[in-house]
Amino acid sequence: MRGGNPAAPDGDGAPLFRLLGPVRVGLPGAPAARPGPPLQQAVLSVLLLRRRRPVTVAELVASVWGDDAPASAAGNLRTYTWALRTLLEPGRGAREPARILLGDERGYVLRTPEESVDAWRFEQQAEAARQARERGDTAAEHALLADALALWSGEALAGVPGPFAEEERARLTALRTTARKRHTVCALRLGLHHTVIPELTALTREFPLDEELRALHMRALHGCGRQAEAFTVFADTHRILGEELGVAPCPELTALHARLLAHDPPPLAPDRPRAPAPPQDRTGSTDQAERALATAKRVLTEGAEHGVVPVLAITGPGGAGKTALAARIADLVADRFPDGRLFADLRTWSPVPADPGSVLAHLLHALEVPAARIPADPDQRAALYRSALAVRRVLVVLEGARIAAQVTPLLPGTPGSAVLLTTRSRVLAPALPAATHIELTAHPRSADPSRGEVAGAPGAGAPGAGEPDAGEPDADTPGHEHLPPELARAARRLTHRGAGPLSVDALAAVLGTGRAHAAGIAEALVDAGVLDTPAAGTYRLPIRP
C-alpha cells in the first residue's frame, strides 16, 4: 500500500461495521445500511476480518469466489472497492486521498478502529471473560459474556457468499455457542437458574446432540424445582442419541441423571459435567498419581511446540481408575486448550463397539457442523473433522478405545490440539504414532492368601467342590461388567481361581473349552487388561501392588 496517506478517522468519526448478523455499515449521523450487493459485502467482510492487514488481489479473489472466480474477477474487485470508498467517505473530493479503504495494484487494506467492528468487540469481550474465569470472578465473566452476546443480531455474515465468509461464519458461530454455554454456566453458578431456561431450551433445540447442553438444561430445570421436566430432557436425549447415532448418553450425563434422581446435584464443573470422583485414589499412591499428572501435562502441552499432535493413552484393567485420572488430566490442562474439549465414548467391550463413522458424526455435531453438511462417507467425515479442528485448539477425550483403526480417524491433523484416551488394551498405544502411555494397575481382588496359587497346584485344573460357581456374577470383582458375556464369565472364573501362570492347555481346562477357543479368549483378556502374558503361550493374572 502507498505510504503518506492521511490518518484514518478515530473511533468517534469512523463508520460502524456490523458483521454479527446481516452485514451493515453505520455512518456518523445516519442509520446502518446494507453496503451493496452480496459480493460487495463479501469483499468488505474479508477486509474487515483481516484486521487492518493488507490483502492482495489474488487473496481477495480466492476469498470471495474460490475456485469459481470468473475472468472478470479483478475488474469486479475494482468496481466493488470504488463503491465501498464512496460509501465509507461520502464527502471525499475526487482528488482527495482515501483515509479508510486504501489500495493500489498490489491489493487493499481497510483502516478502522477495533471498536468500530462488532466482531472484533465480541472477541475482545470473550477474551476478557476468559481472563475473569481464570481469576475465579464468575460475576465478571457473566457480565462480560452478556455484553458480548448482546452484539449479535442473527447469523454472522448472513447471506454473504464465498469460502472466506463460510469459514468465518462457522468460526464465529462456534465462538458464540461457546460463549452462550459459558454464560449459562456462570448463571447457574450464581443461582440464576430461571434466567437461562429459555436460552437452554433454544440451544438444545438447535443442537439436539450436544450432551453438555442437555446436562446444563437438566441442572437449570432441577434448580427451579422442575424435576419432571429435567428428567424428560434426559429421556429425550436417550431417544435422540439412539435414533441418530446408535449410542447411549455418555457416562457423565447418566451419572448426573442418577444424582438428580437422588436430589443430590453434583457441583457444577467448569467444562463438561462428569460423574462424581471415586471415593479412593484409583491411581495407587499419591506419588504415583502426581507422577502421572506431571507426565500428562508435559506430553499434552508440549506437542504444539514440536509440531505434532500429542496422544496420551491411559491403559489398565477395568476398575483401575482410568476415567477418573483422565478427568483430572483434562482439568489440569484445560487452559492450554481454549476452544474446549470433545468427548466420545467408544464402547470398548460392547458387543458392537462404536465405529469411527458414527463417532465422527457425533464429534462434528459437537463442533457445530450442520447435519446437512456431514457427508455419509466415513473418509469424508474424517477430512471435514480435521478441517474443523485446524483452526481450533481442543482436547479430544476418547473413552474406552480398543484398536488403532478405531482411533486413527479421530486424531486431529494439525498441531494445536491433543488427544487423551483410555483403554484396557496394552497393544493400542504402541500402534499409534508418537503416543505416550500411562499404565495403571488394578486394586487387589481379595485379601485371601489362597488366591493366586501357582498353576498346577492341587485343584487348579477345574472347578472343585466348595468353591464359588465361577459362572455366577461376582459383585466384588470390578471391571468385568463391560466385557462381552463370554469374556466376563472367563474373567470371573480366572479371578476366582487366582490363575497363573497357565499354559493354553491348562487355561482350556479351567474354562472348560477347547484349546483354540481358550487361546482366543486369553488373547482378548490380555487386550482387556485382565491377563498378562509373561511368555508366549503363557497367561496369568496381573501381579498386584
Instruction: Please write the tens of the pLDDT for every residue from 296-339.
Output: 888 887 766 667 789 998 887 655 677 778 888 888 888 888 88
- Neighbour-count burial of 293, counting CB atoms closer than 10 A to its CB (0-12 exposed, 13-18 middle, 19+ buried): middle
**pLDDT by residue (tens digit) across 32-67?**
889 999 999 999 999 999 888 889 999 999 999 988
Measure Cα distances from 301 to 115, 127, 271, 311, 338 in Å.
Answer: 33, 20, 18, 11, 12
Q: How far is it, in rounded angstroms, from Cα 147 to Cα 208?
A: 26
- Angle (CA) 94-97-103 rounded to 5° is 110
Contacts of 450 (CB under 8 A, 6+ apart): 498
- Distance between CA atoms of residues 204 and 221, nearest Å: 13
- Tell me how far apart the alpha carbons of residues 182 and 185 are, in angstroms, rounded to a whole number: 5
- C-beta separation of 538 from 501 below 8 A: yes
Parallel, antiparallel, or unpaired: how do β-strands 395-401 and 341-345 relate?
parallel
Going by C-alpha positions, the residue among 218, 215, 180, 185 that lies closest to residue 199 is 180
Integer Cα distance of 47 and 98 in angstroms: 15
Please, what are the domains in the chain? 16-116 (1.10.10.10), 119-261 (1.25.40.10), 286-439 (3.40.50.300), 451-460+469-545 (1.10.10)
Confirm if 221 and 195 have CB atoms less than 8 A apart.
Answer: no
Residues 182, 188: Cα–Cα separation, whole Å: 10
The per-residue pLDDT of the chain, averaged, comes to 78
Query: 128: burial class by Cβ within 10 Å (0-12, 13-18, 19+)?
Result: middle
Overall average pLDDT of the 524-538 stretch: 67
Average pLDDT over residues 265-280: 49
Using CA atoms, how far apart are residues 462 and 510, in angstroms rounded to an integer?
5
Cα distances (angstroms) measured from residue 126 to each of 118, 119, 145, 261, 411 = 12, 11, 6, 35, 28
Q: Would you say residue 545 has pLDDT above 60?
A: no
3-state secondary structure of 400: strand
How does residue 471 score in pLDDT terms, banded at 50, 70 and 90? Answer: very low
pLDDT value, residue 481: 52
Contact predicate 396/238, CB 8 Å? no
**Secondary structure element (H or E) that encloses residue 438, with its range:** strand 435-439
Please state the three-class secondary structure of 77-128 as a single string: HHHHHHHHHHHHCCCCCCCCCCCCEEEECCEEEECCCHHHEHHHHHHHHHHH
Q: Is the pLDDT of residue 28 over 60?
A: yes
More confident residue, 426 or 213: 213
Q: Which residue has the cell 483403554?
A: 423
